[in-house]
Amino acid sequence: MQTTFPAAPLLPASRLPRSFTLQYAGLLVFMIGDGVEVGYLSPFLVQTGQTEHFVALLFTAYGLFAALAAGFSGLLCNLFGSRAVMTAGLLFWIVPQLLFLGVAIPAHSSALLLLTYGLRGAGYPLFSYGLLTLLVTTIRQDRLGRAVGLFWFCFTCGLPTVGSIVAQLLLPVYGQYITLWIALLGVGVGGLLAVLPLPTTPRAEKGSLKDIGPTLRETVRQIRHNPGVGLACIVRAVNSSATHGLIVFMPFFFTGRLGLSQDVWI
C-alpha cells in the first residue's frame, strides 16, 4: 500500500519568478548579513581569548546543525508550509546570535559560544531552503530553471560575495564587534522582507510532527531505490566539507603566515 503524506502548498503551482521579487530581495539581504562574518570571525574569536582548535570545534558544531536543518527543511515545508519554516530559520538565526553577541562573547564562555553559535547554524538552511522549496513547488515548470537560478544567484551573491564587501567597508569604521551587530540587523531586515508577504498555510493543510517518521522512512526508501541520489549526497557532503573548512583557517594563514592585512584578505 502506498503511503501518502500531507502537503502544504502555499500558492498555486503556476506562479512566475517575478511573483517572488520580495523573497529574492529578502534572501539577498539575509545572506549578505550572514556572510559579513566569513572573512574575520575566526581570528576575532581568537583575539577574544579562544584557541584556534576551539574555533574549529565551534564551526564544526555550526556545520552539524546546518546539515540537520538542511536535511529536514524540505520535509518540514511539506508538513508545515514554507512560511513557517522560513520564520523558524529567521528565529534560529536571530535569537542565538543575540545571545552569542550579547552574552557569550562578553562572558568569554566557551560553553555558551558553542551552544549559541551551533544553534545559529540551523538558521540559514531553514530560511533559504524553505524558500527554495516554495519556489520548486509553486513556479511554473517552464520557468523553474530561471527561478532556481535566481535563487542561487541571490544566495551566493550574498554569501560570501557582497557580505565580504560589506565587511570590508564596515570594519574600518565600526570595528569587528559592532560589525557583527550590524550584520544581525541586516539578517532581520532581509528575513522580514521575505517572510511577511507570504500567506500563512491554512491549518487544514498542515501536517504534524508524527508525520516526520513515515516521511523519513519514505526518503530512505527513495534513496535506496535511486542510488544516484545517495551518491550525489555523498559528493555534496565532501565538497561542502572542504569549502566551509577553508573559512576556519584561511584567515589565519593569509593574515598570519603571508602577512596580508585583514582588508586585503577580505
Check which CATH number belongs to the domain holding 91 and give it.
Answer: 1.20.1250.20
In a domain, 259, yes or no: no
Per-state percent for the chain, helix, strand, coil, to nearest 5: 80, 0, 15
Are 172 and 48 in contact by the 8 Å Cβ rule? The answer is no
Predicted local confidence at residue 12, as pLDDT: 52
Q: Judge whether 248 lies within some domain.
A: no
Burial label for 44, CB within 10 Å (0-12, 13-18, 19+), is buried
Cell, residue 8: 502544504
Q: Total structural domains in the chain? A: 1
Considering the domain boundaries, does residue 238 fall inside one?
no
Q: How many helices, marked H, and strands, marked E, lie in the chain?
A: 12, 0
97 is a domain residue: yes
The answer to whether residue 2 is domain-embedded is: no
Which set of grid coordinates corresponds to residue 214?
513515515
Domain encompassing residue 189: 19-207
* DSSP-assigned letter for residue 209: G
Q: Using CA atoms, how far apart are residues 44 and 23, in angstroms rounded to an integer?
A: 32
pLDDT value at position 203? Answer: 62
- Residue 233's pLDDT is 83
Question: Does some domain include residue 130?
Answer: yes
* φ/ψ (deg, to 5) at 15: -80, 160
- Give pLDDT tens digits along the chain (266 positions): 334 434 444 445 689 999 999 999 999 999 999 999 999 999 999 999 999 999 999 999 999 999 999 989 998 998 899 999 999 999 999 999 999 999 999 999 999 999 999 999 999 999 999 999 999 999 999 999 999 999 999 999 998 899 999 999 999 999 999 999 999 999 999 999 999 999 887 765 667 777 778 877 887 888 889 889 889 888 988 888 877 788 888 998 898 889 999 889 99
* Residue 5 pLDDT: 39
Give a yes or no: residue 194 inside a domain: yes
State the cell numbers at 145.
Answer: 530553471
Cα 49 to Cα 107, 167, 250, distances in angstroms: 11, 22, 19
Tell me, yes or no, whether 241 lies in a domain.
Answer: no
* Residue 204 confidence (pLDDT): 55
What is d(CA 10, CA 202) in angstroms, rounded to the nearest whole number? 9
Q: How far apart are CA 179 and CA 156, in angstroms?
A: 20
